[in-house]
């Protein structure tokens, strides 16, 4: 896969992941944990750039598109990847977690709390069994794990990125297949170069399917989304139960009122489980899912709080 992150140096590369460094700065290093929901993690580029502009040392990692040789990558392996990255950084970090990166970051923070200075969750589902009229929550209540096992088994142990792309596309099919192209044409006709560049950035991410290792995908679907074991502290990872009460560092929770993927309660309920005495809730009433961590106003708010 071509490198899609901009202005970075690759510090570690394995068949499963790449570890990127963007800048060297002062203060606590920032480790961005991007989404890994069947698309490339470069949707996190804007929040990375925001941290770079604040003169921080900034890092992230990306999962490579899985193959039949890496299809056995497990949740344990994903947590060990975060551990390896934090060991490379060499000091406690501010962990900034986006969307599906948030549950993984929460697992890591609960297991290795001494390595995290602050935990940030942008639109990441922690309590998967709450939120009115939430598409993902409804889907998980209806999901049949055996059906997903059949899909993975039929695809050489992989969850195809194209299938993930189609599933998300069907959330807003009118926009994905019609409106966004009309928007591009409108920007071209008006000569709005800034809007065209923004459209290109979003499109570069949206149409970048990445195959997922079936092992961790099925583990996550069953344990997190269907059985809510992270929130209920009944999920065994690396040989021990993950207890969110182990998270005592400051916790920052960001959610959008127009988020069609993650209901704000799924994010904010994390505050009920951690032992931190510093929990900050930020609600963006008009923000959709990705706008929570890519919008100009939202990033300005984050920078001011950071």
Dump pLDDT digits (tens) for 122-157: 999 999 988 766 666 666 666 567 778 888 999 999
* Alpha carbon separation from 195 to 5, 47, 174, 190, 198 (Å, rounded): 20, 19, 20, 10, 5
The pLDDT of 80-94, averaged and rounded, is 98
The distance between the two most distant Cα atoms of the chain, rounded to a whole number of Å, is: 58
Domain 9-160+209-305, what architecture?
3-Layer(aba) Sandwich (3.40)
pLDDT classification of 1: cutoffs 50, 70, 90: very low
Q: Are strands 279-284 and 158-159 parallel, antiparallel or unpaired?
A: unpaired
Report the pLDDT value the prediction gives residue 187, as an integer from 0 to 100.
67
Report the pLDDT value the prediction gives residue 176, as an integer from 0 to 100.
57
Report the pLDDT value the prediction gives residue 36, as an integer from 0 to 100.
85
- Is 221 a residue whose pLDDT tops 80? yes
- Is 110 a residue whose pLDDT tops 90? yes
Residue 109 structure tokens? 């923070």
Report the pLDDT value the prediction gives residue 109, as an integer from 0 to 100.
98
Question: Lowest mean pLDDT: which of 17-26, 171-180, 182-191, 241-250?
Answer: 171-180
DSSP code per residue over 253-301: EEEETT-SSS-HHHHHGGGGT---S-EEEEEETT--TTHHHH-HHHHHH
First to last CA, the chain: 33
Q: Residue ranges of the domains in the chain?
A: 9-160+209-305
Closest CA to 215 of 75, 40, 81, 68: 75
The pLDDT of 275-301, averaged and rounded, is 95
Report the pLDDT value the prediction gives residue 244, as an integer from 0 to 100.
98
CB 64 within 8 A of CB 16: yes
| ∠ Cα 34 39 43 (to 5°) | 45
Q: Which residue has the higher pLDDT, 151 or 58?
A: 58
- Work out the percent of the chain whose per-residue pLDDT is above 70: 81
């Amino acid at each position: 896969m071509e490198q899609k992150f901009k202005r970075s140096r690759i510090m570690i590369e394995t068949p499963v992941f790449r570890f990127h460094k963007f800048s060297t700065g002062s203060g606590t290093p920032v480790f961005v944990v991007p989404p890994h929901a069947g698309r490339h993690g470069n949707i996190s580029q804007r929040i990375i750039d925001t941290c770079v502009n604040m003169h921080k040392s900034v890092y992230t990692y990306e999962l490579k598109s899985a193959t039949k040789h890496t299809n056995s990558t497990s949740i344990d392996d994903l947590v060990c990847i975060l551990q390896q990255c934090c060991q490379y950084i060499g000091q406690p970090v501010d962990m900034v977690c986006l969307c599906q990166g948030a549950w993984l970051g929460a697992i890591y923070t609960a297991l290795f709390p001494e390595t995290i200075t602050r935990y940030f969750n942008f639109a990441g589902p922690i309590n998967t069994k709450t939120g009115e009229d939430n598409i993902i929550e409804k889907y998980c209540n209806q999901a049949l794990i055996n059906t997903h096992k059949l899909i993975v088994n039929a695809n050489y142990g992989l969850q195809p990125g194209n299938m993930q792309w189609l599933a998300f596309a069907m959330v807003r099919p009118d926009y994905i297949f019609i409106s966004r192209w009309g928007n591009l044409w409108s920007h071209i006709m008006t000569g709005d170069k800034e809007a065209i560049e923004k459209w290109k950035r979003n499109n570069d991410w949206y149409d970048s399917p990445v195959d997922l290792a079936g092992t961790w995908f099925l583990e996550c679907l069953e344990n997190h989304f269907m059985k809510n074991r992270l929130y209920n502290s009944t999920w065994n990872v690396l040989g021990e139960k993950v207890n969110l009460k182990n998270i005592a560092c400051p916790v920052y929770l960001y959610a959008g009122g127009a988020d069609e993927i993650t209901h704000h309660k799924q994010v904010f309920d994390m505050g009920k489980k951690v032992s931190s005495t510093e929990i900050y809730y930020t609600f963006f009433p008009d923000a959709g899912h990705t706008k929570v961590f890519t919008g100009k106003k939202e990033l300005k708010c984050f920078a001011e709080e950071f």
